[in-house]
Amino acid sequence: MPLFDYRAKDADGNNVSGVIEAATETVALDELAERNLTPVFIKERPAKSALQASYRWFNRVKTKDLVIFSRQLAVMVSATVPLVQSLRILVKQTQSDNLKIIVSDLADEVEGGAKLSAALARYPDVFSTFYVNMIRAGETSGRLDETLNYLADEAEKNYDLMSKIRSAMTYPIFVLAGMLIIGFVMMTFVVPKLTTMLKETATELPFSTKVLIAVSSFLQQYWWIVILLVIGLVVAVRMLTRQGPGRLIWHQLQLRLPVFGGILQRIYLVRFTRSLASLMLGGVPLTRGLEVVAEVVGNEVYRDLIIRTIHEVEEGNSVSTLFLESSAMPAMVSQMMVVGEKTGRLEEILNRLGNFYSREVENAVQGLVTLIEPLIMVILGVGVGMMVSAIILPIYQSIGNV
């Protein structure tokens, strides 16, 4: 989504500057008006080049560093240490060089009269829209320390969940990558030496041996084409699925994948329920909370559903109206949200749903790993067996013909 740099005046006539994320300039102006800001200047930031995006990726701030930053800032704010002084102290304590520079800039901005939320909004690659809105809500309610602690707790939960998923999938990915590399080396360098001897025999070669020789010869001569095709395919998929219809189709396919689709759906539901519950508990209005969650959830199917829900809520309908009709939203989520709205405990219901689906993701990933390990062994055994039989069988035939 485009970013807009702006300068504006608040209700007291003070100068305020920052960055806002919006679909269009008109939407950005409306958002500033909702914050009681009178725009003086607004301009869309130019799109990042591929080189800039790569540089940004290598210099990104780790989730762990962000958790520590939030926790330490919360402790100092709770101890009534002035915000600017707290940020100056954190500049010295922060280990990440990139975050150190950002925190120093934050201290300068706040010392110059800007609110912490406005200063954070200048770094959308580090502080998400969700993070900025929670800080803004904490500033408004006078509970900034509680908000920072809450953000640190939520970030730790997300960090732990993603760490467990990565740890569980490391072994299968490592084994599969090893299989592909070893298979490529065997077919390119080892098999050709063995098949040279087989070609010299006068016996008719089995079909499996002919296929092995053909594949090996192709890889030996055109291995660079295979590598270029793989790289080209990866780049093409990335370009087509980055935005527009291609992104929506790709995200629809993700949800329909066997086994993996269910895990991905649960991950998106965790993001949706936890983020919306956090924003509502922080005092953010429901429609604004849904706008933020639409950008946080990370899937175009759910983003489209949430945006349409915003229009329903603005027209006075229930937040769960479209959820009850959507196949992408489990019936339990929709029905629990209906109960939450009727009882006035929607935030609590969403929080419970987030915890439930978080455990579901952990169990599903662990079950998947348990299933993948023997499956990999079977695939490895079949592959090795076919290769060995394709080489050994003609040798036995030639010995039998002697």
CA-to-CA dists, residue 196 to 69, 116, 170, 396, angstroms:
63, 71, 38, 16
The torsion angle over the Cα atoms of residues 145, 350, 274 and 356, rounded to 10 degrees, is: 120
Q: What is the pLDDT along the chain (402 residues), one digit of tens a residue?
A: 566 777 888 777 777 777 776 666 776 777 778 778 888 888 776 654 443 344 344 457 787 888 888 888 888 888 888 888 988 888 888 888 888 888 888 888 888 777 888 888 888 778 877 788 888 878 877 778 888 887 787 777 777 777 777 777 787 788 778 878 887 887 777 777 777 776 666 567 777 777 877 888 888 788 788 889 989 998 888 888 777 788 888 888 888 888 788 888 888 898 888 888 888 887 788 888 888 888 778 888 898 999 999 888 888 888 888 888 888 888 888 899 888 888 888 888 998 998 898 888 888 887 877 777 788 788 878 877 877 777 777 777 666 655
For the chain, list the domains and their CATH numbers: 1-47 (3.10.20), 164-402 (1.20.81.30)
Q: Which two tokens stand for residue 384?
A: 């090795």
Q: Which residues, listed in sequence order, are joined to residue 7 by a DSSP beta bridge? A: 17, 41
Taking the C-alpha atoms of residue 275 and residue 114, their distance in angstroms, rounded to an integer, is 26
Tell whether pTM > 0.85.
Answer: no
Q: In angstroms, what is the C-alpha Rg of the chain?
A: 28
Residue 221, number of CB atoms within 10 A of its CB: 10
List phi, psi (to 5°) of 13.
Answer: 85, 10
Q: Which two tokens stand for residue 115?
A: 């609110």
Residue where the block lists tokens 């599903």: 364
Taking the C-alpha atoms of residue 320 and residue 329, their distance in angstroms, rounded to an integer, is 10
pLDDT of residue 4: 76
